[in-house]
Amino acid sequence: MRLFCGLDLTAGVRHELGDLVRKLRPAARIRWSPVENLHITTKFIGEWPADRVERIQQALASLPAREPIPVRIRGLGWFPNPHNPRVFWAGIDAPPALAELARATGAALAAIGVPPETRPFSPHLTLARISAPAPLAGLRQHVAALDSTDFGAFVSESFFLYLSERSPGGSAYTKLAEFPLHKP
């Protein structure tokens, strides 16, 4: 099973991003992410045996309670850089509590054998992937002409364990478990 942890988006933010993608899609022939797949990854787990998923769920459920995390989706950019991009993203504006959740999740999962992250935590929403050199001038012009790159805000009260299943049309994500941040 291919797994990851992340925050879900609200319907309002998803709607705003859907409008953005509909406007920008004609400007570049790149692999656009389905809007329903957008999420904020806090920990990529990768392949994990199905018979050991319960261990992951127990590790995640053991995380200490924390306050809900306010998140704003704002700004657009490119990874690894604008000159040779592989990913077109929307930015995440959140307090240090989001990075702390990612760190705590990684530590809890490392204790049961999930490899730790080697890259710094860089929260974002992957809007599109660019697998081969593509003409992006039109997309850059459309982005520069946007009235706003603020796509809304929400408060996350939980995070999820997701299953990622690859298919010919792209990946499909299924929520396997929800973990409230504030425990009763």
pLDDT in tens, the chain (184 residues): 999 999 999 999 999 999 999 999 999 999 999 999 999 999 999 999 999 999 999 999 999 999 999 999 999 999 998 888 999 999 999 999 999 999 999 999 999 999 999 989 999 999 999 987 788 999 999 999 999 999 999 999 999 999 999 877 778 899 999 999 987 6
Whether 124 sits among the annotated catalytic residues: the reply is: yes
**Candidates 15, 124, 142, 182; catalytic one:** 124
- In this prediction, residue 179 carries a pLDDT of 97
| DSSP code for 158 | E
**Candidates 15, 39, 142, 182; catalytic one:** 39
Torsion (CA) 34, 127, 68, 110 in degrees, nearest 10: 90
Evaluate whether the domain defined by 2-180 bears CATH number 3.40.50.1980: no
CA-CA distances (angstroms) from residue 80 to 76, 87, 119, 144? 13, 7, 12, 19
Under a CB-based contact definition with an 8 Å cutoff, are residues 46 and 162 in contact? no
Identify whether 80 is preceded by a cis peptide bond (ω within 30 of 0).
yes
- In this prediction, residue 184 carries a pLDDT of 66
Q: What pTM was computed for the model?
A: 0.92
Q: Where are the beta strands (DSSP E) in 50-182?
A: 69-79, 87-93, 124-129, 150-156, 158-167, 170-180
- In this prediction, residue 131 carries a pLDDT of 84
